[in-house]
Amino acid sequence: MERFASLLAAQLQAGDVLILTGNLGAGKTTLTQFLATALGVTGRVSSPTFVIARAHANPHEDRPPLVHVDAYRLGDAAEFSDLDLEYGHDEAVTVIEWGRGLAEELSADRLEIVITRAGEDPEAAPDADPATSADDPGSDPAAGPDTGSLDVSDLLGDTPGPVDLTEADEDETRTIRLIPTGPSWKTRISAIAAAFAEQEPA
């Protein structure tokens, strides 16, 4: 997870929105902690379930601050909208756990990350069906290129689909599914996948 977080952090910029999906214990907060470390923000990142959202400043002028949101206890998109995350959104990277179905209106250009553990199906995780992440309800991004064994050339088409990366940590193996929405993520997804493949242990 740390390796992926480092590669992702290198591609992040102010205004980015990341929606994290996965079962309880899948590693959503762990990923956010590694992202915070890679970005160099201040403060301890923990599950903000009772606070809902926390902002972490960044002492490095060339790197964005981080806003960490846990939408687990929010009932609908209206409650999410009441958080007023649009204010200052362009200056920070916003990471939203349990954000599927709630946070899409925050940005038309976003990256959804579905984390599953060994034996779990990415499409069976809570709110993890890629078909529901498309702006057009009638389209199914899962029908786009899915790398499987990570054929990076598949990412160079006009409409990159979900990309699955396998991260083997000390405790267990996880699949990290990247679902890009919007034009800015096409090139960045390709860069992340290529770098991930280059660092794959022999």
Task: Give the pLDDT confidence score for residue 147 in this predicted structure.
Answer: 32
3-state secondary structure of 115: strand
**Residue 168, SS3?**
strand
Half-sphere exposure of 196 (CA within 13 A, CB side): 30
Q: Return the pLDDT at 170.
A: 67
What is the secondary structure of 39-103 as a DSSP string?
HT--S-----TTT-EEEE--S-TTS--EEEEE-TT--SHHHHHTT-TTTTGGGSEEEEET-TTTS
Residue 41 confidence (pLDDT): 95
pLDDT score recorded for residue 84: 72
3-class DSSP state of 166 = strand
pLDDT at res. 187 = 83
* pLDDT value at residue 90: 86
- Whole-model pTM: value is 0.78
What local confidence, expressed as pLDDT, does residue 168 receive?
80
State whether residue 113 is helix, strand or coil.
Answer: strand
Domains, the chain, ranges and CATH? 2-198 (3.40.50.300)
Q: Residue 70's pLDDT is what?
A: 85
> What's the rounded Cα separation, in Å, for the pair 79 and 70?
12
- State which amino acid sits at residue 51: V
Residue type for position 68: H
Q: Which residue bears the tokens 């990923």?
A: 31
Given a cut of 50, the residues of the chain with pLDDT beneath it are 128-159
pLDDT, residue 74, reads 77
